[in-house]
Chains A and B, each alone.
Chain A
Amino acid sequence: MSEQQKPKKPKIPRQKMPEQNPIERAHNFYEVALGYDNDLALLEASRCLHCKKPYCMAGCPVEVDIPDFVEMVKKGDFIGAAWKVKEKNSLPRIAGRVCPQESQCESKCVLGKKGEPCAIGRLERFVADYAAVHGEGKTPELPKPTGLRVGVVGSGPAGLTLAGALIKKGVAVTVFEALHELGGVLVYGIPEFRLPKAIVKSEVDELRKLGVEFKTNWVVGRIETVDDLLEKAKFDGVFIGTGAGAPLFLKIPGENLNGVYSANEFLTRANLMKAYLFPQSDTPTAKGRRVVVFGGGNVAMDSARSALRLGAEEVTIVYRRTMEELPARAEEVHHAVEEGIKFQLLTAPTEIIGNETGWAVGVHCQKMVLGEPDNSGRRRPMPTDEFFDIECDTVIVSIGNGANPLVPSTTKNLETNKWGNIVADLETGKTSKDRVWAGGDIVTGAATVILAMGAGRKAALSMLDTFGIK
C-alpha cells in the first residue's frame, strides 16, 4: 500500500438557522427562526476552538462562560450547558433570540478573523430551549434568606435580570409592573414572530419558582413613590428599570391625524393586546393597506413586519440615510427585505397629508443626500430641493423613545440629565440617591435588551456588595 496522505479535516461551515419561508411567514405571527436541532447544535459547537483566552466572553455584557457552555454542547450535555449559561444569564431563551450577537460575543470570536464566527447566540438559544422542553434536571439550591428585600420598578429585561441575580443570593425581590403582563418591552414591543410571549412567560415563571414576587397593574409614582418603597415598605434597596417608554414624534404637520401611530402604540396593540386576533381579542389596530414607517432601527423593522402580517399590501420604510447606515441589526433588515418590505432611502418626511375627515392619506417627502460625517460618525443627511409624495393610509413613527418622566419626577433627590434620563454609574448602577440603583434604557436612552440585562446584572452585583453579601 502506498503512502496515504492523511485526509484534511473538512472545514465545517457556520450552521444556518432553519427559518420559516418568507412568503409563508409574512402572513403569520409564528416565530421566524425555528432553532437548531441536536445535530445542528453538535455540528456548530464542534467549530468552537475553546480558546484559552476567550475573547468572546469579553464581548458579552453579562459575561456568560461561553467556551465552557459550548464545550458541554460538544459533549452532548445540553442541560448542563443550559445551567452554565444560567449562572450568568437568567433569561437565556430571550437573549438567544434578541441579542445582537454579531456586534457582541460573535464579533470577538477568533474564527471570525478568517471565516465566520461560531454561532454562539444560536447555541445559547438551543440549550435554553432544550432545557425548558426536556426538564431542567435540578433547580438550583438557594441560600438561606438574608432577610434583605429589594424593590424593582419595571419588569423589563434589566429588572428581571437583577431579580434573578439577587434571589439566587438570598435577597427577597418584589417586582412592580405598571402593565397587566410581565416583561416590559419584551411583551409590548418585540413582536411574537421574533420573541413569542410564551418564551417570556416561561422565563418569568422560572423566576417566580425561585421566589421572586411580582405585582402587576402597579404604577410606582402613583400608588406608591420610590420614597414610599424605601421609607414605608422598608425595602433595603430599590432598582429603577422603567425603560425608555415615551415615544418621540417628528413634530411635523399632520402627526396627530387618524391612522398615525407611534411604534410603541402600534406594537402594543399588535403584541400585548393581541390585535392580530381581533375580533377574538377586543383591541383593534389599523389594518393598513399601504403603510409607511418612519425610522430605520429594530423597532421600525418590527413595526413594518408586523404591519405586513396584519395584512398590509405594501409597507415602506422611509429612512434619511442609506442601507449602510440603518441602525437595525443586519439580520432584521435581511428578514424585512426577504419578506418584501420596501425601503425608501435618502428620504425625510416633511408632512403627513390628511383628508377632510382627519385621516392620513399620504406623506410629503424630501430627497436627501449624504454630507460630511456628524457627531455619530455617520454621514449627515442633507436636504435637497426635490420633493415627492407617498400615498398611504397608515403611518408608524419609529424614531425613538425618550425617558418616561413618571418615576424620576415623583422621586426626591434623584438626579436626571437634560433628556430626563436618570443619572447612574454605568459600572454599578448607583444613582444620586442613597439605596437607589437604576439601569437599562431609563439610564442610557433606548438601547438593546442585552445591554439592559448587563445593567441589571451590574446593579445586582453592586447591591450585593453594598449589602455585604458574597
Chain B
Amino acid sequence: MFEILEKERIGPGVNRAVIFAPEIARAHKPGQFIILRTHADGERIPLTIADKDADKGTITLVWQEVGVTTYYMGTMCVGDKLQDLCGPLGKPTHIEKFGTVVGIGGGIGVAPLFPITKGMHDAGNHVITIVGARTEGLLIMTEDMRKVSDELLIATDDGSFGIHGFVTQVLQSLIDKGTKIDLCVAIGPVPMMRAVVKVTKAANLPTVVSLNPIMVDGTGMCGACRVEVGGKTMFGCVDGPEFDGHEVDFELLMKRLAMYKGPELIALNKFRETDRGCQCTFPGGA
C-alpha cells in the first residue's frame, strides 16, 4: 500500500499529492509514468510522475478530475493509501545537451513536463518554457517551472494572466524572432500538441510529444494503448510514452481516447451517487 503524505488542490479539479513509494522514487527517470489502482475494484490508470525525492522515497502525482478514478483520488486524504502503484514505466526521456530546448506545457501537461524540463536544464541546455492554460486559475506549477527554466513565458487563452493567446502563438513569435531552437518538447491536451506540431513542422524543428492513450497493464502485454507513429503501430506504454511529434497520428489518438466515453460516464455517475471514501475535497468543496 502506498501512503499519501501530502495532498493539495492546486486548481479547480486539479490535485497534487506526494506519495510514499521508495523503490519507484529511486528508479524513476524523467518522462516515465506509473499505473495506479485506488482500491480492489478500481481500474488501472496511468499518470506521469511529476516529481520525485529519492532521499525521502516519495513521488509526486498531479491529476485532473475527469473520470471515476481521478475523482475518487480527489476525495483521498493525507494518510489514505493507494491500493497499487506500479512503475516506473515507459522509456525515459532522451536527455542530453541539445543547445536550446523549448518546453511547451498546456493545462495539466505542465506536470509531466516539469521533470523533463528539470532534466534538460541540469544537462546544461538553455531552457525556454512556455506554459499555457485557458485562464489564470488553471495555470499550475508556474513557480516550480521558473526554477528550472532560463526563460519562462506564460500565456492564457483569455488574457487573464501573462500573454493573451495560445502557446502556439508564443512559440511562433519565438521562431519569428529568429531564436535558435534545437528541440521542442510539447505535453498537453491532444489538440494543443497537434497545433504545436503544426508550427514546428513548418519551421522544421524536432519535436517530442508525450502521449496519454488508454492503458490497462502498462507493460506491453495488452496493446490497448496502440498509437500510430510514422504509419507504424506502436504501444504507448513500452515504445513511448514519448514519440516524434511530426510522425504521430493525432486524429487516431483522439478517437481512441473517446472509446469508453459512454461507460466512463456510467461509472462516474455511479460514483457520484455513492459515498466512497473521505470527501474533504470533493468537487464543489475546497
A382 within 8 A of B: no
**7 closest Cβ contacts across the A-B interface?**
A284-B263, A358-B255, A265-B222, A217-B86, A245-B221, A282-B43, A262-B223
B: residues with CB less than 8 A from A are: 23-24, 27, 32, 37, 41-44, 68-69, 83-89, 216-217, 219-224, 226, 228, 233, 238, 252, 255-256, 258-260, 263-264, 266-267, 270
Contact B222 A180 (CB under 8 A): no
CB neighbors of B among A403-452 (8 A): 404-406
Q: Could you say which residues of chain B place their CB within 8 Å of the CB of A281? A: 41-43
Q: Could you say which residues of chain B place their CB within 8 Å of the CB of A284? A: 260, 263-264, 266-267
Distance of A249 Cα from B219 Cα, bound (Å): 17
Evaluate whether A282 and B267 lie within 8 angstroms (CB atoms) in the complex, with A217-B85, A268-B216, A404-B219 already known. Answer: yes
Q: Which of A53-61, A109-117, A269-277, A302-310 contacts B (4 or more CB under 8 A)?
A: A269-277
Q: Choose from B69, B86, B260 the contact partner of A180 (Cβ within 8 Å).
A: B86
Q: Could you say which residues of chain B place their CB within 8 Å of the CB of A277? A: 41
Evaluate whether A255 and B233 lie within 8 angstroms (CB atoms) in the complex, with A265-B216, A269-B216, A273-B216 already known. Answer: yes
Contact A406 B238 (CB under 8 A): yes
Contact A278 B267 (CB under 8 A): yes
Contact B223 A273 (CB under 8 A): no
Q: Could you say which residues of chain A place their CB within 8 Å of the CB of B255? A: 258, 357-358
Distance of A283 Cα from B87 Cα, bound (Å): 20
Q: Could you say which residues of chain A place their CB within 8 Å of the CB of B263? A: 278-279, 284
A43 within 8 A of B: no
Per-residue 0/1 for A274-301: is the Cβ within 8 Å of any B Cβ (1 yes, 0 no)? 1001111111100000000000000000
Distance of A194 Cα from B220 Cα, bound (Å): 25
Contact A223 B24 (CB under 8 A): yes
A378 within 8 A of B: no
Contact A256 B220 (CB under 8 A): no
Q: Choose from A216, A224, A247, A274 the contact partner of B84 (Cβ within 8 Å).
A: A216
Contact B267 A224 (CB under 8 A): no
Contact A404 B221 (CB under 8 A): yes
Evaluate whether A258 and B221 lie within 8 angstroms (CB atoms) in the complex, with A222-B89, A282-B43 already known. Answer: no
Q: Could you say which residues of chain B place their CB within 8 Å of the CB of A188? A: 217, 221
CB neighbors of B among A137-152 (8 A): none
Q: Which chain B residue has the least Cβ–Cβ distance from A280? A: B41
The residue in B224, B238, B260 that gathers the most chain A C-beta atoms within 10 A of its C-beta is B224
Q: Choose from B24, B86, B89, B223 the contact partner of A247 (Cβ within 8 Å).
A: B223
Contact B222 A222 (CB under 8 A): no
A179 within 8 A of B: yes
The residue in A216, A218, A274, A406 that gathers the most chain B C-beta atoms within 10 A of its C-beta is A406
Q: Which chain B residue has the least Cβ–Cβ distance from A264? A: B222
Distance of A249 Cα from B84 Cα, bound (Å): 30
Contact A246 B220 (CB under 8 A): yes
Evaluate whether A406 and B220 lie within 8 angstroms (CB atoms) in the complex, with A223-B23, A256-B233, A274-B41 already known. Answer: yes
Per-residue 0/1 for A235-256: is the Cβ within 8 Å of any B Cβ (1 yes, 0 no)? 0000000000111010100011
A178 within 8 A of B: yes
Q: Could you pull out 21 A-B pairs where Cβ atoms are within 8 angstroms? A: A179-B86, A217-B85, A218-B23, A219-B86, A219-B89, A223-B87, A247-B221, A255-B233, A256-B252, A258-B258, A258-B259, A259-B259, A265-B216, A265-B224, A273-B43, A277-B41, A279-B266, A284-B266, A404-B220, A405-B220, A406-B238
Distance of A256 Cα from B233 Cα, bound (Å): 8
Evaluate whether A264 and B42 lie within 8 angstroms (CB atoms) in the complex, with A222-B27, A222-B89, A358-B255 already known. Answer: no
The residue in A251, A283, A358 that gathers the most chain B C-beta atoms within 10 A of its C-beta is A283
Contact B223 A265 (CB under 8 A): yes
Distance of A245 Cα from B270 Cα, bound (Å): 33
Q: How large is the interface on A (under 10, 10 to 19, 20 to 34, 35 or more residues)?
A: 35 or more
How many inter-chain residue pairs (CB < 8 Å) link A and B?
116
Q: Which chain A residue has the least Cβ–Cβ distance from B259? A: A258
Interface SS, B side: mixed
Q: Nearest chain B CB to A177's CB is how many angstroms away?
A: 10
Contact B84 A217 (CB under 8 A): yes
Q: Which chain B residue has the least Cβ–Cβ distance from A409? A: B238
Q: Nearest chain A CB to B71's CB is how many angstroms away?
A: 11
Q: Could you say which residues of chain A place their CB within 8 Å of the CB of B264? A: 284
Q: Choose from B68, B217, B221, B223 the contact partner of A249 (Cβ within 8 Å).
A: B223
Contact A282 B68 (CB under 8 A): yes
Contact B222 A406 (CB under 8 A): no
Distance of A296 Cα from B243 Cα, bound (Å): 35
Contact A268 B221 (CB under 8 A): yes
Given contacts A222-B27, A282-B267, A283-B216, 18 further A-B contacts (CB under 8 A): A178-B86, A178-B217, A188-B221, A219-B219, A222-B89, A223-B88, A247-B222, A256-B256, A258-B259, A265-B224, A268-B217, A268-B221, A273-B216, A279-B263, A281-B42, A282-B43, A284-B263, A405-B220
Q: Choose from A180, A264, A273 the contact partner of B83 (Cβ within 8 Å).
A: A180
Q: Could you say which residues of chain B place their CB within 8 Å of the CB of A259? A: 259
Evaluate whether A358 and B219 lie within 8 angstroms (CB atoms) in the complex, with A265-B224, A273-B44, A282-B43 already known. Answer: no
Q: Nearest chain B CB to A4's CB is how many angstroms away?
A: 68
Q: Which chain B residue has the least Cβ–Cβ distance from A397? A: B223
Q: Nearest chain A CB to B286's CB is how many angstroms away?
A: 23
Contact A179 B220 (CB under 8 A): no
Distance of A179 Cα from B37 Cα, bound (Å): 11
Q: Which chain A residue has the least Cβ–Cβ distance from B269? A: A279
Distance of A447 Cα from B168 Cα, bound (Å): 51
Contact A279 B267 (CB under 8 A): yes
Q: Could you say which residues of chain B place their CB within 8 Å of the CB of A249? A: 223, 233
Q: Which chain A residue has the least Cβ–Cβ distance from B69? A: A282
Contact A245 B219 (CB under 8 A): yes
Q: Could you say which residues of chain B place their CB within 8 Å of the CB of A219? A: 86-87, 89, 219
Q: Which chain A residue has the least Cβ–Cβ distance from B228? A: A256
Distance of A274 Cα from B263 Cα, bound (Å): 14
Q: Nearest chain B CB to A216's CB is how many angstroms away?
A: 7
Distance of A249 Cα from B23 Cα, bound (Å): 34
Q: Nearest chain A CB to B92's CB is how many angstroms away?
A: 10
Q: Could you say which residues of chain B place their CB within 8 Å of the CB of A274? A: 41
Q: Nearest chain B CB to A400's CB is how many angstroms away?
A: 13
CB neighbors of B among A162-179 (8 A): 178-179
Q: Could you say which residues of chain A place their CB within 8 Å of the CB of B226? A: 255-256
Contact B87 A180 (CB under 8 A): no
Distance of A251 Cα from B217 Cα, bound (Å): 22
Q: Which chain B residue has the least Cβ–Cβ distance from A255? A: B233
Distance of A406 Cα from B88 Cα, bound (Å): 13
CB neighbors of B among A184-234 (8 A): 188, 216-219, 222-224
Q: Which chain B residue has the least Cβ–Cβ distance from A258? A: B259
Q: Could you say which residues of chain B place their CB within 8 Å of the CB of A405? A: 220, 238
Evaluate whether A179 and B217 lie within 8 angstroms (CB atoms) in the complex, with A222-B89, A274-B41 already known. Answer: yes
Q: Which chain A residue has the least Cβ–Cβ distance from B266? A: A279
The residue in A255, A256, A259 that gathers the most chain B C-beta atoms within 10 A of its C-beta is A256
